[in-house]
Amino acid sequence: MKILISCGHGGTDPGVTGYTGVPEHALTCTQGNLIAKYLKAEGHTVKVCIEEWSANNFRVRSRKGCDVAVSLHFNGFNGKANGTEVLYSNYTSVASRVLRAINSTLGLSNRGLKKRSDLYVFWHNNFDCLIETCFIDNKHDYDTYKAKQEEVAKAIAYAIINKPMSKPYGWEQHGNHWYYRQSDGTLAKDRLGYVGSDFYYFDKQGRRGGGVFKVNGRYYHFSNETGKAVQGWYTTKDGKKMYFDRDGKSAVGLVYIGKDQYCFDKNGFLKIGKFKATLITDSDGKVVKGC
Ligand SMILES: [Zn+2]
């Protein structure tokens, strides 16, 4: 595709002023070049140009020969107004895709699509849309944008060419099951492991495990609700006792739990009574003699 990106303001007009003093035009130029970088990486032809909005000179590059043309701006009002809006005149789906992409990346308030037939970029140049990413005189809007400007530029680029963003890593729910997408883009599968500070199990299909079940010959206990490893004592339906450590792994053999020592069989079930000449437990399973 051939794409025209027009960076708002320029010439003698810097546009609105951000709360840090940054002029709108500097931001539209930075954003335009970032969006172009992502479009070029996808093999598209991109023209980045500067608008000139001054009293005597009002010029916006013609979109002739381009499949998509967007104009970049940032809003400014009273320091309190906030959010993202996308202006259009002759509606194309580019406008709504771009708005959705910015909203899902920045999460600022959604001011929506606005029809503005009076703007030069529309009545004279027939652009697809004019993007007002956020209010740069609003501290929260601006700081949020600055922290994510690469991500937003990529999201806008992909929205322009209608390419789905690759999923970021993190939790995903499909049907009744939870999955974890790792930073390399693949799902965690057939493994035990930490996500943050919590320990989980994922089966061969990548589904997060819950309950008490065996992994590699050892019982584990994970919460049915959160999937996190559950530490502590557990009683099976038929009354057998087990103990799971902080990774949800069953205790086996002779194990200290607090100051008391217990004995578990190879399956992790607590042994009670006299089962070895040198090892005797009390009725709670605490080892009282020998070991
Ligand atoms: Zn502007």
Q: Domain ranges in the chain?
A: 2-160, 174-289
pLDDT at residue 54, as a whole number: 67
Alpha carbon distances (Å) from 210 to 188, 202, 203, 226, 282? 15, 9, 10, 8, 32
Query: What angle separates helix 139-147 from helix 149-161, to the nearest 10 degrees?
Result: 80
- Segment 235-258 shows an average pLDDT of 95
- The helix or strand, by DSSP H or E, that contains position 79, with its residue range, turns out to be none
The answer to whether residue 57 scores a pLDDT higher than 80 is no
Whole-number Å distance, alpha carbon 25 to ligand 1 midpoint, is 8
- Segment 153-166 shows an average pLDDT of 92
Query: Could you give the percent of the chain with pLDDT greater than 70?
Result: 96
Residue pair 24/15 in contact by the 8 Å Cβ criterion? yes
- The CATH code of domain 174-289 reads 2.10.270.10
Whole-number Å distance, alpha carbon 144 to ligand 1 midpoint, is 19
The answer to whether residue 291 scores a pLDDT higher than 60 is no
Whole-number Å distance, alpha carbon 23 to ligand 1 midpoint, is 10
pLDDT at residue 12, as a whole number: 86
* Contacts (Cβ under 8 Å, ≥6 apart) of 53: 8, 9, 10, 11, 13, 15
User: Does domain 2-160 bear CATH number 3.40.630.40?
Assistant: yes
Whole-number Å distance, alpha carbon 75 to ligand 1 midpoint, is 6
The answer to whether residue 21 scores a pLDDT higher than 50 is yes
Whole-number Å distance, alpha carbon 1 to ligand 1 midpoint, is 26
The answer to whether residue 247 scores a pLDDT higher than 90 is yes
Whole-number Å distance, alpha carbon 65 to ligand 1 midpoint, is 25
Whole-number Å distance, alpha carbon 104 to ligand 1 midpoint, is 22
pTM (predicted TM-score): 0.61
Give 269's DSSP letter: P
> Looking at the chain, how many residues does it have?
291
Q: How far apart are CA 268 and CA 137, in angstroms?
A: 62
Whole-number Å distance, alpha carbon 225 to ligand 1 midpoint, is 49
Whole-number Å distance, alpha carbon 258 to ligand 1 midpoint, is 66
Whole-number Å distance, alpha carbon 28 to ligand 1 midpoint, is 9
Whole-number Å distance, alpha carbon 117 to ligand 1 midpoint, is 16
pLDDT in tens, 70-125: 999 999 999 999 999 999 999 999 999 999 999 999 999 999 999 999 988 998 89
pLDDT at residue 108, as a whole number: 95
Whole-number Å distance, alpha carbon 5 to ligand 1 midpoint, is 14
Q: How far apart are CA 19 and CA 27, in angstroms?
A: 13
pLDDT level of residue 140 (50, 70, 90 thresholds): very high
Q: How far apart are CA 23 and CA 225, in angstroms?
A: 50
